[in-house]
Structure 1
Amino acid sequence: MENKENFITEDQEFPSCEPLIEFNNVYKSYGSNKVLNGISFSVKRGENLVILGRSGSGKSVAVKCLVGLTKVDKGEIFISGKNITKLNEEELNRTRMKIGFLFQNGALYDSMTVRENLIFTLQHNHKDLTEQEMASAVKEALQNVGLEEAIDQLPAELSGGMRKRIGLARALIIKPEIIIYDEPTAGLDTITAREIIELIRKIKLKYDTSSIIITHDLTCAKYTGDRIIVLKDGIIRAEGSYKEIENNTDDWVKSFFEK
């Protein structure tokens, strides 16, 4: 999987300097457990930011704070210049409509077909679409992930990799400005993981999305991230390109690359 020839080779556009997401000195604790300890980072428009870290490092909590599912104890988080820590629930919901999620397990509704899963998400975010507009959006979303033929299948009939791709189609169908990928290659075989990595890269090129990719998979980090931050115990221990992270002299950061 480390063979770079297996991955997309198109030049990616350089992200805009304008930050779409900003974390400013964010703290979050659960009782005596300090999960985020004053982290600050930003995501530019059109940038893929990888958050790399082991279980319990604070990756998932940072995302929950970003979408307002948990409140920060201290600090500020901005999306498109709006401080989401100050928004009410209605304003938060409007902001969430800009964000697509690819959950680790796909998180599809088992009793619904692929078509119904996508339409359900679309209707939740865009209530005034016609049936023709919804059908067109579903078709485009499935074309993006190469699974038009799965439209009338149930999740139980799909492989793990296919469910992950349908999950990505569901994230894309709302045309988000931001996509959050939660362990996108976890539990997948090498070939399927490579397909998901290529899809992440293609989506960025096609839609100019900004993404946060939560992972502990170094290959995923290497090929999807414009920039990487490494979290340990809620603190950013390193930040930079994959090569810069790989050459970091911090013993804990170096431990990621030990065979």
Structure 2
Amino acid sequence: MIQEKTNIDADKTTIKNAPIIEIKDLHKAFGDNEVLKGVNLSVNKGENLVVLGKSGSGKSITIKCIIGLVMADKGEINVFDTDITKIDAKELNEIRVRIGFLFQNAALYDSMSVRENLSFTLRRHVSGLSKEELQNEISEVLENVGLADAIDKMPSELSGGMRKRVGLARTLILKPEIILYDEPTTGLDTITSREISELILDLQKKNKTSSIIITHDMACAKHTGDRIIILKDGIIHAEGSYESLEKSNDEWVRSFFI
């Protein structure tokens, strides 16, 4: 693996602590297709880690393994100091509640309003909330993503950027400590993509979240990433800051930044 010298701003360096996610020698194959061939990575508390790689390089599979949507063939996946490959379904669900996952398409329930989408998620995981408490939580999280006025709209009435924000609100309503973003700006125009990137940074600062951000959007990678890793042939090929990787001696690494 190419280890590029990092050049991370001092204020970003201060957030580095013990890893909140640590993956060791992760392997995953689908039949004869070996996607992950020994991935090793860590995410520090309060850090935004960006993952780059060509299509099919295993980026999405890696984060799906972190929450047990895909089971690893081999390796350790330590989240909150617990190896999720060695725990039962009950323990895994307890960890999942502490992790937010933003899917590419926001994955909203089309038959439910924004309010109902958020209410369904909160009621499913948090018991004993009064109607007033429920509505206060929903209003607060929509305010945080700038969509307070969309509370009674249906998903079909929302733009792509608004759907992403609602999907993020649904993730945030459970107050996760970790957020996994799968292509958060895909399909959005430049201005909306920038707004989503700004929102990711705001959440990092306000909620002290730790995040993995999978993206093909280099503007998003540059804006949100404290550190970047690049997957190639099932392993991490390069790691460093945006600035150091952009100036890499490796022509393949530099090709991402052209």
* TM-score class, shorter: over 0.9
Equivalent in the alignment of 1:199: 199
Equivalent in the alignment of 1:52: 52
Q: SS of 1:166's equivalent?
A: helix
Measure, in 1, the Cα distance between the counterparts of 2:136 and 2:14: 31
Computed over aligned residues only, the root mean square deviation of the Cα atoms, in angstroms, reads 1.1
CA contact (8 A) 1:56 1:233 kept: no
Structure 1 runs of 4+ aligned residues shifted over 3 Å read none
Q: Deviations over 1:97-122 (max 9, x none)?
A: 00111111111111100000001111
Equivalent in the alignment of 1:185: 185
User: 2:147 corresponds to which letter in structure 1?
Assistant: L
TM-score, normalised to structure 1, is 0.93
Measure, in 1, the Cα distance between the counterparts of 2:133 and 2:240: 41
Q: Deviations over 1:69-122 (max 9, x none)?
A: 121111100011001000111111111000111111111111100000001111
Q: SS of 1:135's equivalent?
A: helix
CA contact (8 A) 1:48 1:211 kept: yes
Change over 3 Å in CA distance of 1:32–1:187 after alignment to 2 = same
Gaps of 5+ in 2: 1-10
User: 2:220 corresponds to which letter in structure 1?
Assistant: C
| 1:131 positional shift | 1.4
Equivalent in the alignment of 1:7: none
User: 1:59 corresponds to which letter in structure 2?
Assistant: K
Equivalent in the alignment of 2:232: 232
CA contact (8 A) 2:12 2:226 kept: no
Q: Deviations over 1:188-225 (max 9, x none)?
A: 00110011010000010000000010111111100101
Q: SS of 1:24's equivalent?
A: strand
Gaps of 5+ in 1: 1-10
Q: How does 1:112-191 map to 2 (within 5 A)?
A: 112-191=112-191
- Which one is further off, 244-253 or 213-222? 244-253
Q: SS of 2:255's equivalent?
A: helix
Change over 3 Å in CA distance of 1:26–1:124 after alignment to 2 = same
Q: May I ask how many residue pairs the two structures share in their alignment?
A: 248
Measure, in 1, the Cα distance between the counterparts of 2:13 and 2:40: 25
Q: Is 1:93 aligned to 2:93, yes or no?
A: yes
Measure, in 2, the Cα distance between the counterparts of 1:125 and 1:45: 24
Q: SS of 1:116's equivalent?
A: helix
Measure, in 2, the Cα distance between the counterparts of 1:13 and 1:163: 33
